[in-house]
Amino acid sequence: MSTDLNERVRDLLERYDGPDVCAAQLLCDGHPADRVAFTIIDPDLSSIDLTYGELRERSARFAAALAELGIGPGDRVATLMGKSADLVVALLGIWRRGAVHVPLFTAFAPPAIALRLLASHAMLVIADADQAGKLAPGADLPADAPWQVIVAGDTKTADRDAGAHVAAPRFGDLMAAQSADDPRAAAVSVGGDALLVQLFTSGTTGTPKGVPIPVRALASFHAYHEFALDVRPDDVFWNAADPGWAYGLYFAILGPLAAGARSLLLHAGFSPALTWQVLERFGVTNFAAAPTVYRALRADSAPVPEGISLRRASSAGEPLTPEVVAWSAQNLGVAVRDHYGQTEHGMFICNAWHDELRAALPLGSMGRQLPGWTCAVLAADADTEAPTGEMGRVAIDTERSPLLWFVGYLDAPERTAQRYTENGRWYLTGDAGSRDADGFFRFSSRDDDVIIMAGYRIGPFEVESVLALHDQVAEAAVVGMPDELRGEVLEAFVVLRNGFTGSPELVAELQTLVKEKFAAHAYPRRVHFVDSLPKTPSGKVQRFELRQQRSK
């Protein structure tokens, strides 16, 4: 690594850390007012450009509206919104006010939403009109909820779709009633240690873990934007990931804003046809997406448009398979590169695109450590580095990783402690892998059973808890099984109560239950009715045995 890149890491740390740093200044106000920040694209391919100047004015008015609603520095404000101009304005308004953003994925069902709102102590939820119905009081959300609700979207749609929140304040109306010159709209300096985002991630046992993301984490996000993605001023950059999850929030929203770059946001769901159209029509040169997007494009029967002109293509969320890399090289003009990271850290091991970091890739490698990070593979049975090429535990050196920002899970000291070696020197990622003599890491498996489907991390416990709600289910276990398109899909193993037998009708009921009580994307594609589940002597389900049974 060159001295220049080490110096660049130090510059970024100095910029984003310190007692007086201001998120709004770093992400918006410090950039030229006439520079385009986002191009928002609708399904019909019509688009609007939002400049940093426009975002400053609109987010200032929304910050004043938040103050009017009693929101102050440190208060939690959640968003249940798709990729839109309203979302970007809302986020910048939250951060301008010094408040903390709580992302909610739009595929979540009410129980998953309620858990995150209650755990974060959210005081306000901004919801798209077509999502607001999920916030209605019921079995999962209290009638006397401690949070207020704002409905976003055009007035006609909001009045039709807001459901129980039809009388809730409208996002646009609140902004229109405020002035960007209101003293309450002034950007609040909170410091590098103050929270910017409160994000939740799922494990295999217990409830989802809250990951507090401080303002100084922007140094890491900005570094990835430059070092791994290699986004340059003349690039047309598009990260297709959803900002309800870490990769989309960190690197489709925060990274580009920190760098003062232009980014595309597609206000629509994914489809291969629309993705091809956006890539061609808008002249995308730098593209990032989950492997499932590349697999879906590869599987699409339509010919690749002649106007595709990618300079860089990147992928994150799960390992890339060789056939996708070969396909992308032939059809996109560039071989997509694999990047590795976690919600708790952002990205830190990558097949980087930067000129000083780019290298020929060993097949199947997830890359080398980025500047600002020191990583290793520890032996399976000792907190010492494993020999070259030997399988072990992928870990981060906490003493030699200046871009490391994670300090622990929300209100979970025991779960935090489990992530570190006894002496605190190493952070354990929970993933197994190896490293070769040239410093390239290779992913092997996840030792915490988290399922990664289409780039989304899904904790089996949440799905299992929903399945157990059915009155015919005694217990259930969920595992991820290989899928050509999505990487993995969920399969459930269900033990029924005495007197009941499995049937196609019951399978459909269980799938619908998960869609309604957890998330539409996380239902089990197959349900196996079994007499018992394999367990350890202490009663813990051995999911690896279920995966082995299915693989035979």
Give me the CATH number covering residue 491. 3.30.300.30
Closest CA to 491 of 481, 506, 476, 483: 481
* Same domain as 476, residue 431: no
Which residue(s) pair with 184 in the sheet?
none
- Please name the residues in contact with 1: beta carbons below 8 A apart, sequence gap of 6 or more: 356, 357, 371
Best CA proximity match to 274, nearest among 259, 296, 256 = 296
Taking residues 115-130, what's their average pLDDT? Answer: 96
- Where do we find the tokens 């405020």? 178
**Cβ neighbours around 5 below 10 Å, total:** 17
CA torsion 52→56→62→66, rounded to 10°?
Answer: 120
Within this chain, do residues 439 and 507 fall inside the same structural domain, yes or no? no
Task: Tell me the Ramachandran region of residue 258: left when phi exceeds 0, alpha when psi lies from -120 to 50, beta otherwise.
Answer: alpha
Given 398, 425, 446, the domain boundary residue is 446
Rounded to 5 degrees, φ, ψ at 472 are -95, -5
Provide φ and ψ at 358, rounded to 5°.
-65, 135
> Residue 516 corresponds to which tokens in the numbers above?
């309604």
Q: Is residue 196 part of a domain?
A: no
Measure the CA dihedral 65/115/529/539, to 10°. Answer: 150
Indicate the pLDDT class of residue 201, thresholds 50, 70 and 90.
Answer: confident
- Both 490 and 427 in a single domain? no
Coil, helix or strand at residue 534: coil
In a domain, 525, yes or no: yes
The SS3 call for residue 379 is coil
Where helices occur in 69-193 by DSSP H, the ranges are: 85-96, 110-120, 155-161, 171-176
How far is Cα 38 from Cα 241, in angstroms, rounded to an integer? 15
Instruction: Tell me which range, 254-268, 284-298, 411-425, is most confidently predicted by mean pLDDT.
Output: 254-268
Percent of residues, the chain, with pLDDT higher than 90: 73
pLDDT surpasses 60 at 208: yes
CA distance 156 to 158: 5
Domain boundary among 446, 465, 495: 446
> 255 with 37: CB under 8 angstroms?
no
- Banded pLDDT at 2 (limits 50, 70, 90): low
438 and 473 co-located in one domain: no
* pTM for this prediction: 0.86
Is 293 domain-assigned? no
- Phi and psi at residue 12, in whole multiples of 5°? -65, -40
For the stretch 509-542, pLDDT in tens is: 999 999 999 999 999 999 999 999 987 554 567 8
User: Of 161, 190, 219, which residue sits at a domain end?
Assistant: 190
Q: For 288-304, what is each residue's pLDDT tens digit?
A: 998 889 988 988 888 89
Place of tokens 């367990």: 535
CATH code, domain with 393 = 2.30.38.10
In a 13 Å sphere around the CA of 58, the CA atoms on its Cβ side amount to 18
Q: Which two tokens stand for residue 104?
A: 């909610």
User: What are 510's two structure tokens?
Assistant: 């269980």
Nearest 5°: phi and psi at 122?
-65, 140
Asked if 395 and 428 sit in the same domain, the reply is: yes
Q: Is residue 322 part of a domain?
A: no
**What average pLDDT does this structure show over 414-419?**
92
Distance CA 119, CA 324 (A): 39
492 near 461, Cβ under 8 Å?
no
Strand 312-316 versus strand 337-342 pairing type: parallel
Is 64 part of a structural domain of the chain? yes
Q: For residues 409 and 465, state if they share a domain.
A: no
Question: Where does residue 462 fall: left (phi above 0), alpha (psi -120 to 50 degrees), or beta otherwise?
Answer: alpha
Q: Is the pLDDT of residue 124 over 50?
A: yes
pLDDT of residue 538: 47
Enter the DSSP assignment of 535: B
Regarding whether 89 and 54 lie in a shared domain, the answer is yes
What pLDDT does 205 receive?
Answer: 43
**Cα-Cα-Cα-Cα dihedral sign, residues 247, 252, 258, 261:** positive
Q: How many domains does the chain have?
A: 3
